[in-house]
Structure 1
Amino acid sequence: MDWGNFFESVTSWIGAHGLRILLIISLSFLFYRLIKMALDRGLVRYVEFREHHHAGTREDRIKRAKTLASVLTGSVGVFMFGLTVFMLLAELGIDIAPLLASAGVLGIAIGFGAQSIIKDTLNGLFILLEGQFNTGDVVKVAGVSGNVEDLNLRRTVLRDLDGIVHIIPNGQITTVSNYTHEWARVNLNVPVAYSTDLDQAAAVINRVGRELAADPEFSPMIISAPQVLRVDNFADSAIEIKVLGDVHPMKQWPVTGELRRRLKKAFDEAGIEIPFPHTKLFFDDNQLDKYARLSFRSDAGRRSAEGGIKPIPPARDNLPPDTEP
């Protein structure tokens, strides 16, 4: 092998194509970085402009913008990678026209065979553009509740309270229940006994709600103090009082838990009973008389058997209708 000619041909090829290949790769990477930077900044400004009047915090809007930007930049990255590969193949002298035609035919075939993927992608796009939920939100979708750990155009990843990860295709999401969008609410039914003075109970609940809202630890979580809305229900063992209060997203659970704890202590101090189910049994007088006579016969028979005396059977007319002498 003539190494001199080999190195000469390699050097000639690098001189003719190497600089172009390096330029294609560098420009593609630079273009991708510029698009990513523009999307990161532009989407934050777009979301700020579009949702500045909403009650959500700026951190929530930035979170949504970053979620949308990460998905779009990922899609742009895939497109840029494919485009760069075709440009490099063309530079290497490979005819890409048949590849493009094959890719078109393959795309049509995949489109017919992967309609669910297309449905997932389109639904995911609408979820992101409409801001139905973002990474970090607590939602219920497709019958599953949990924290959104990841979101892209194809699927949503939830983790529930048991730590179980649920991967849900976006095409299966028809209804979204977002527990942490812009603001949340303490919604609690407080049961009290039927003998309770309802005005006193309402005063105690409102006082505890105001004290909770004034607490330095919980005041940053609360928008409006929990307070009595109405008498909500006459239950089997209690009267239920509806309590509502507005809080910041994801703070309804710690605030509700602390409210329950404080209400229990306040009710104990005020002598207000939080009832538990009671059951009352009623007996018919005729049935009680029947059971008493049967018990008497059984007891008399036992005592006579012990003493060797045969008891005198009662008259048939005095027996209950379903017994024998």
Structure 2
Amino acid sequence: MKWLLSFTAAFFFALSALAQVPPAAPQQKIDELVRLLQDPEVKAWLDSRKQESGAATPASPAGNSTLASWEAGARARVHALLAAIPAIPTEVTAAATRARSEAASRGYAPVFLIFGGLVAFGLAAEAVYRRFAARRESLLGRLIPVGIFAGAMGIVFFAVEWPPLARVTLLAYLSAFILFRLAAALLSVAAMGSSLRRRLLILFGVVCFAVATSAVGEPLGVSPDVRKAISYCFSVVGLLLAIEAVWSAWEGSRARKAVITAFLVALWFIWCLNMRGLFWIGIYALVLPGILNAVGRAALSFTSDAGSLRGILIARGARAAVIALAVGWLALVWQLNPDTLGQRDPMIAALFYGGLKSVLILVVADLLWQVARGWIDRTLRVSTSTTSLAPADAARRARFRTLLPIFRNALAVVVAVMAGLIVLAQLGVQIGPLIAGAGIFGVAIGFGSQTLVKDVINGVFYMLDDAFRVGEYIQAKDYKGTVESFSLRSVRLRHHRGPVFTVPFSELGAVENMSRDWVIDKFRITVGFDTDIDKARKLTKKIGAELMEDPELGQHFLEPLKMKGVEQFGDYGIVLSFAMTTVPGMQTYIRRKAYARIREVFLANGIAFAQPTVQVGGDDKGGGGAAAAAQAIRAQQANEATAAK
């Protein structure tokens, strides 16, 4: 369906372009006109007529507006078209007679016989090639015979000195026939049904014949009005073919088919009224979305990763190129039709060209944004990978995860604002007062929302200081947790027990970062007074070596587990101090493993852990000693309970 609409649009434009070619004035008449304009008497007469017309010209009436002028021109074209249609047979017969008479006067056969002979010679050369060459179903295998066909006809055509009219006619129709053969070869390998392929060939054949007929009209002496009438007749044929394809080859509801048919008829009327810009805008509305999707899919076939920067650049760049070509073509069509309604009104013309420039600006802005966003998203995906990295690389990736989301949001705002301002400027809006008003409005917002401004500014300085990154565990005032994400004014913290804190930057204050570089973890163990300290030190060193060699824990150690020595003498034993240096976040897990291993090794080597004991002495046979012991134990338990609280 979209292919049919595209060919219909090309058909209409080709006919309109050829129908508007002005006839070339003979050189003798041009020379005579130049000689008359240089005559002093003619110059004096022209000056006097100019003065008389300037004095007698009345003020333009209100009704003589741009719209009225366009309406008068359209009415004149319609009347000229209706008057030229009955003259088509006479003009065509006269043109054929002129070509035949010229050929006969120089001893040549009629043009149609020469055309048939050249085509037969080309087909014969193609048949010889097909007889000796292997048949290939690829695109190249189908294009080579067409090239041989065209080459054989071209050799004969350029080798013979044909009469002028016959040469122009043969060149036009031979070129059209070669283009038709080329289109047939291309469509033969396209993925489409036979019915659609047949309709496209018929439509393209009509297009080629119409273009060739319009091209030879001027050399054969056909009047401009008749040439335009012939173009309109061919356009009706193209319109009927497109409507027939809508109702026969397209699977859709009757309502949608009726809407498409009405739209095609409206486009045809717009084309007939010489409103070329509006006509092509309607064509773009029909076919451009499908063309963009097809071009995007075709561009992605050149890359294996659609999400890569190269894939995004190729796909978006191809779509941007298609839109740029469409805009350029629309501007060219508008420029080549100076008598259109929009060209006569400076305001409409300025808005039209401003709109075209705005489309290009938006396309460029979208391309830049898509490329930047693709790079940011790809960098974030790489930064969140779980592969083991060196500390410097891990820190750099963590900083990327922290800053790139903020940069992406800021870049989106900047691109949108800049593109919007440039578009407004191209449409004729004075953006200077707009920017000044926005500045005043921004100052008012700043005074009215000082806390918001404070949050944003504090966030900027936190980022510049690299105070924390995504994935790090921090504590600030009463808030602590793992940094999950940022916005322009706040940070999102996930507590290790699950709650989420959204804290404005102005509320953070001093930040304690627990996830940078390294962590020294210290703990104490109480053993009995009779413990051999040197033996405990050696056993601790052995335990540290075992933990370093553990495949799961060893990679998280920066320095092994060591016993620092005797920290103090407690009430029930000797307090030993231990320390180890690990990567941030793993110290608690490693400490638990170290506790279990120390208990196992110490007990196996006769080192007992201290336990609270109470010794009571005396000879109170009445049970006073037992009561005192019980009281001491209760006091000790009360003290321990108080300490635990």
Question: What TM-score do the two structures reach when normalised by structure 1?
Answer: 0.71
Match of 2:516 among 176, 181, 202: 181
Give distance in 2, aligned partners of 1:22 and 1:163.
48
- Residues 55-94 of structure 1 mapped to structure 2, 5 A cutoff: 56-94=391-429
Match of 2:595 among 232, 246, 260: 260
What's the offset of the Cα at 1:206?
2.1
Q: 1 or 2 for the larger relative contact order (CA 8 Å, sep ≥6)?
A: 1
- Residue number among 19, 22, 25 corresponding to 2:356 in the alignment: 19
The residue aligned with 1:29 is 366
Aligned partner (choices 446, 469, 475) of residue 111 of structure 1: 446
8 Å contact from structure 1 (residues 122, 153) kept in 2: no
Structure-2 residue corresponding to 1:149: 484
More displaced, 75-84 or 156-165? 75-84
The question of whether the paired residues in 2 share the 8 Å contact of 1:186 and 1:226 is answered with no
2:560 aligned residue = 225
Q: Is the 8 A contact 1:138 1:178 kept in 2?
A: yes
- For 1:127, the equivalent position in structure 2 comes to 462
AA of the residue aligned to 1:259: A
- Distance change >3 Å, CA 157–CA 218, structure 1 → 2: same
What's the % identity of the aligned pairs? 27
Say if 1:34 and 1:262 are closer, same or farther in 2 by CA, change over 3 A.
Answer: same
Shift of 1:154: 1.8
* Alignment CA distance shift 1:101-1:15 (3 Å): closer
Deviation at 1:159, TM superposition (A): 0.7
Q: Structure 2 CA distance, aligned partners of 1:267 and 1:281?
A: 29
Q: Hey, what's the Cα distance between the residues in 1 that align with 2:570 and 2:370?
A: 62
The one-letter code sitting in structure 1 at the alignment partner of 2:524 is: N
Gaps of 5+ in 2: 1-70, 72-265, 282-341, 343-347, 380-389, 628-645
Which range moved further: 270-279 or 129-138? 270-279
Shift of 1:262: 0.9
**What SS does the aligned partner of 1:117 have?**
helix
- Cα displacement (A) at 1:60: 2.0
Q: Which has the higher helix share?
A: 2
The answer as to whether partners of 1:56 and 1:181 remain within 8 angstroms in 2 is: no
Task: Find the residue that maps to 1:191 and give its secondary structure.
Answer: strand
Q: Which secondary structure does the structure 2 equivalent of 1:101 belong to? A: helix
Q: CA deviation at 1:109?
A: 1.5
**Which stretch has the larger CA shift, 234-243 or 163-172?**
234-243
Moved more, 151-160 or 233-242: 233-242
Residue 580 of structure 2: SS of its match in structure 1? strand
Counterparts of 1:79 and 1:7 in 2: how far apart (Å)? 41
After superposition, the Cα gap between the structure-2 partners of 1:125 and 1:279, relative to the gap in structure 1 and judged at 3 Å, is: farther
Name the counterpart of 2:109: none
**Secondary structure at the residue paired with 1:245?**
strand
Counterpart of 1:240, as a letter, is: V
Question: Do 1:57 and 1:182's aligned partners in 2 also have CA atoms closer than 8 Å?
Answer: no
Structure 2 Cα separation of the partners of residues 21 and 186 of structure 1: 62
Backbone CA RMSD of aligned residues: 3.7
Range 95-104 or range 120-129, more displaced = 95-104
- For residues 116 and 277 of structure 1, the distance between their equivalents in structure 2, rounded to whole angstroms, comes to 56
Contact 2:354 2:428 in 1 (8 A): no
User: Does residue 497 of structure 2 align to residue 162 of structure 1?
Assistant: yes
Letter of the 1:273 counterpart: A
Q: Secondary structure at the match of 2:596?
A: helix
For residue 223 of structure 1, give the secondary structure of its aligned residue in structure 2.
strand
Structure 1 residue 148 displacement after superposition? 1.1
Residue 278 (structure 1) shift: 5.3
Query: Aligned residue for 1:309?
Result: none
Q: Secondary structure at the match of 1:224?
A: strand
Which amino acid counterpart does residue 604 of structure 2 have in structure 1? E
CA contact (8 A) 1:40 1:65 kept: no
String of CA shifts for 1:224-259, please: whole Å, max 9, x gaps.
111112323444545332222222232222212211
Can you list the C-alpha shifts for 1:166-219, whole angstroms capped at 9, x where unaligned? Answer: 111111222222222122233222232344333332222222111111112211
The one-letter amino acid paired with 1:87 is I
**Alpha-carbon spacing, 1:175–1:7, altered in 2? closer, same or farther (3 Å):** farther
Name the structure with the higher strand share.
1
CA, structure 1 residues 57+240, in 2 after alignment: closer, same or farther (shift >3 Å)?
A: farther
CA spacing shift, 1:32–1:232, aligned 2, 3 Å = farther
Task: Tell me if 1:140 matches 2:475.
Answer: yes
- Contact 2:528–2:609 (8 Å) recurs in 1: yes
Segment drifting more, 61-70 vs 203-212? 61-70
Secondary structure class of the residue paired with 2:363:
helix
What one-letter code is carried by the residue in structure 2 that aligns with 1:227?
K
Which runs of 5 or more structure 1 residues have no equivalent in the other structure? 43-54, 293-325
1:77-114: per-residue Cα shift (whole Å, max 9, x none)?
Answer: 21221222222333344444443233222211111122
Letter matched to residue 596 of structure 2: R
Residue 260 of structure 1 aligns to a residue whose secondary structure is helix
